[in-house]
Amino acid sequence: MRTTKHFLLLNFVLLTLGPSLLGAADFSIREKGGLSYLEENGIPYFGWFLKTSREEIDFGGDWKFLADPSDQGEALNYFSESFNDADWQTTKVPSDWTKLPGLENYQGASWYRKSFKVPKEWRGKFNRLEMDGVQHQGKIWINGRLVGEHRGGFSQFSFDVTGFLKSGGNNQITILVDNRRGLYDVPPMLSPGDRLGWWESGGICRKVKLISSFPQTLVKVEVEAEPVEGDQGNLLVRGLIYNAGKESAGMVMDLGLDGFAGLPLLEQSLSPIVVKAGAIEAFAFSAKVSEIKSWSPDEPNLYQLKIKLSGPLGTEENELEIGFRKFEVRGSKLYLNGDPYYIRGLNRHEDDPETGFYQSEERMREDIALIKELGVNHIRPAHYPNDPRWLSVCDRRGITLTEEIPLYQASTGWTKAIDSITDPGKDTRGIKIQLGVSLNQIKNQELRKNAQLALAEMIERDRNHPSIIIWSIGNENLTIAFGGARQTYQELYDLSKKLDPARPVTFALLTSPGLSPALERTAQISDLISVNEYYGWYFGKISGAGKFFDRLHKKYPDKPMIISEFGADTVLGRRDPTAQEKYSEEYQVRLLMETWDQMLERDFISGGMPWALADFRCGKWGAKHQVPYMNLKGLLTYDRKKKLSYSRIQELYQQLAEQGK
C-alpha cells in the first residue's frame, strides 16, 4: 500500500548507492511447438503440480543456523563440506527468522546447513533442488561446490544438482540467505534507510525439496478449461517434455480427467513423442468434455487432471486440480462464465503472528474461514506471489485472485523523506535521497530484467489455478508525470501475454491529488484499471474519492475500473461515536462505507478491495505510531480479533451478493 501521495521538492542529499547484491537476473524466454516457456539456471522452469510420483526428499525440519551480520561466512568457508557447525543453533525450515528472539528486525546474511543421504537408486536419474520463498536472495552449495544463486523471495526456482550429489552416501547442503534489497531488486530498495511497505522477512520461508525423476520428465503443463453450452466444456492441454539424458527416448503420454468421487470423464492416449537428448518436445491435446460443472465462487467445482508419461526407463505420474471457468473483460465490464462479475474484495498479506511470512496450514484454514464469513469473492494477495498451498485453498473454497509481482513503488523514493508530514507515525529518520537514481529507477535495465523474471516465475508456477483471474505487474510505481514506467510496464504486459494470452493484466496506479489522473502516463497499457486511493486518510476528504473516480473514468472510459486499495488505520477498542477521530473504529467504518457508497453510485466501477484483511508488521511505522511497527488498516487485528469494520463490511457484502453483485 501507499505511504504518501504528495510530491514536494526537498533539499535532496546526494549519495552513491551500491548495486543489487546479485546483479541482473539470468534467464531467457524460449518457444517450442508454439508454446513459450521460461528457461532459468540452465534448465526449463518446472511448473507446480498438486501430486507427483517423482521421488522426493523433503528438507523440512531441523537445520543448523547462524546469522552473519559481518558478512564473514564465505571468507570463513561456512559452505565447506568439512566445516564444523556444531556450535550453530538449530532452527526449523521452513520458517521466518524475524520470529526468532533477537532477529525480529534483522536485515542481513544468515547461513543454513543440513546433512542428508541420497538413495543409491538415484544414480543415473535427473535430480533437482527445488525451493520457494527464500527471502530475499539465496546462494546454494552442495558438498562444498557452488550450485547457483537466485534473487527474489516470493517464487519457486530449481537447479539441476545431478552432478553434485553422492548417490548412496552422505551429503551436505549449505544455503546463504540475505534479506537485504538493492536498488534494482524486486521489490526495490527505494532509498537508503527506507523500509519496505511490509515486514522484511528473512529465511527459507517455504518448501525445500530434492526431486528425482527419470531423465525424461514432464516440465510444463498449460491447461485451458472453459464451460460452453449446456454441461459441455472445452479442454485444451499443452505442455513440454524435457530429456535431461544422453540418448533420445520415445515417450507415450496418457491423459485422464476425473470428476466428482473420482469418476472418470475422459481417458486419452497421445501419439508417441520422440525427445532428443538434452532437448524439449511439445505436446497438445484438446477435447469437448460432457457432464461438467463450471467453477465459480458460488460453486468451486474442481476436476483432477492426471498425466502419465511413460518411457524406456519407467512411468511418471503428475496431477493437477483444474476448474472450467471463463473470465473476460468486455468493454468496461468484467464477466465470469458469461455473467457480470462484481468484486467484493479484500487485500491480504502473508504475515502470521506466530510464524511471520511462513504460512501454517492452521493459519490458512482460519483466514479462509474469516474471508468466506465476510462474503468476500476476491482477494488480492498483496504484493507478491503467495504460497501455492494458499492458492489451492482459494481454488477449493471459491475465491478469485489478482496475483501480483512485487514491483513496488519504484521511482517514488524521492517522496519518502516527507512521509511523516502525512502520517506522524512514519519514521523517516535516516532516509537519504538521490534524486537522479530515484526518478530513473523504474526504467533501469537491471530492475526491468528482475521484474520480468519475477513475472515469468509467477505465471509459470501458478497459471493452472482456476482461482487466478488477473495478473498484476506492479503496485504504485511512478506512473504519473514522467514516462519512465511506460517501457517497463509495456515489456511486462507483453511478456504476460506471451506466457498466458488469456488472462487480463493490470497494475495498481499511483494516486496523487492534483496530479493524477491528469498526468497519468501508463494506465492505458493495462486491460483494466486498478486504483489505490486513500481519500480521507493520507489526503483530502473521504467525499473526494468520487470526483477522482470520475476524472479517471473520463480519461479511460472503455476500461473496467477496480478500486484495489482504500482504508484507514484503526486501534481496536478506540471508540468515537462521532466517527471524526482518526484511529477510532468508527472512523474506519465511516471511511470504508462512504467510499463504498461512492463506488456503488458509479456503474463503471467493477468492485473494490479494502486494505486489508488483518493488521500486519511494517517497518515504515516507527515507535511513535499508535501501535509501533504495525499497519493498522485491517478489519482484524494482527492476532485476528474482529474490529467493528469487519461486521459492517460483512453486512455490505451480504447485501451486494443478494443484489447479484
Q: What percent of the chain lies above the pLDDT cut of 90? A: 85
Instruction: State phi, psi for 75 to the nearest 5 degrees.
Output: -65, -30
Residues 69 and 116: beta-carbon distance below 8 Å: no
pLDDT of residue 439: 81
Residues 233 and 225: beta-carbon distance below 8 Å: yes
- The CATH fold of domain 216-327: Immunoglobulin-like (2.60.40)
Percentage helix, strand, coil for the chain under 3-state DSSP, each rounded to 5: 20, 35, 45
**Strand partners of residue 240:** 220, 282
Compute the mean pLDDT over every residue in the chain, rounded to the nearest whole number: 92
Cα–Cα distances (Å) from 602 to 280, 513, 596, in that order, read 51, 20, 10
pLDDT digits (tens, 9 = 90+) for 32-56: 999 999 999 999 999 999 999 999 9
- Reported as a pLDDT band with limits 50, 70 and 90, residue 416 is low
Picking from 583, 530, 499, the residue whose alpha carbon sits closest to that of residue 222 is 499
pLDDT of residue 361: 96
Residue 269, classed as helix, strand or coil, is strand
- E strand or H helix that includes residue 451: helix 445-462
Q: Domain 343-658 class?
A: alpha beta
Domain 27-213 has CATH 2.60.120.260: yes
pLDDT of residue 13 exceeding 50: no
- Asked if 216-327 and 343-658 have one fold, the answer is no
Lookup: cell for 312: 524406456
- Reported as a pLDDT band with limits 50, 70 and 90, residue 431 is low
pLDDT of residue 515 exceeding 60: yes
pLDDT of residue 530: 97
**Strand partners of residue 251:** 273
pLDDT digits (tens, 9 = 90+) for 147-171: 999 999 999 999 999 999 999 999 9
Picking from 472, 47, 438, 98, the residue whose alpha carbon sits closest to that of residue 223 is 47
Residues 353 and 363: beta-carbon distance below 8 Å: no
Where are the chain's structural domains?
27-213, 216-327, 343-658
pLDDT of residue 15 exceeding 70: no
pLDDT digits (tens, 9 = 90+) for 68-114: 999 999 999 999 999 999 999 999 999 999 999 999 999 999 999 99
- Reported as a pLDDT band with limits 50, 70 and 90, residue 261 is confident
- Reported as a pLDDT band with limits 50, 70 and 90, residue 425 is low
pLDDT of residue 7: 26
pLDDT digits (tens, 9 = 90+) for 444-487: 999 999 999 999 999 999 999 999 999 999 999 988 766 778 99
Residue 154, classed as helix, strand or coil, is coil
pLDDT digits (tens, 9 = 90+) for 118-135: 999 999 999 999 999 999
Task: Give the integer Cα–Cα distance in Å for 233 and 210.
Answer: 37
Q: What is the DSSP letter of 108?
A: S
pLDDT of residue 497 exceeding 50: yes
Picking from 120, 174, 112, the residue whose alpha carbon sits closest to that of residue 145 is 174
pLDDT of residue 593: 98
Strands 378-380 and 400-404: parallel
Region 515-519: mean pLDDT is 76
End-to-end C-alpha distance for the chain, whole angstroms: 26
**Strand partners of residue 217:** 242
Instruction: State phi, psi for 90 to the nearest 5 degrees.
Output: -100, 135
pLDDT digits (tens, 9 = 90+) for 567-613: 999 999 999 999 999 999 999 999 999 999 999 999 999 999 999 99
For the entire predicted model, the pTM comes to: 0.94
pLDDT of residue 346: 98
- Reported as a pLDDT band with limits 50, 70 and 90, residue 512 is confident
pLDDT of residue 597: 98
Residues 574 and 530: beta-carbon distance below 8 Å: no
pLDDT of residue 320 exceeding 70: yes
| Residue-level length of the chain | 661
pLDDT digits (tens, 9 = 90+) for 210-239: 999 999 999 999 999 999 988 999 999 999
pLDDT of residue 496: 98
- Region of residue 514 (phi > 0: left; psi between -120 and 50: alpha; otherwise: beta): left
pLDDT of residue 260: 86
pLDDT of residue 6: 29
pLDDT of residue 20: 39
Residues 634 and 657: beta-carbon distance below 8 Å: no
**Strand partners of residue 149:** 139
pLDDT of residue 424: 55
pLDDT of residue 657 exceeding 70: yes
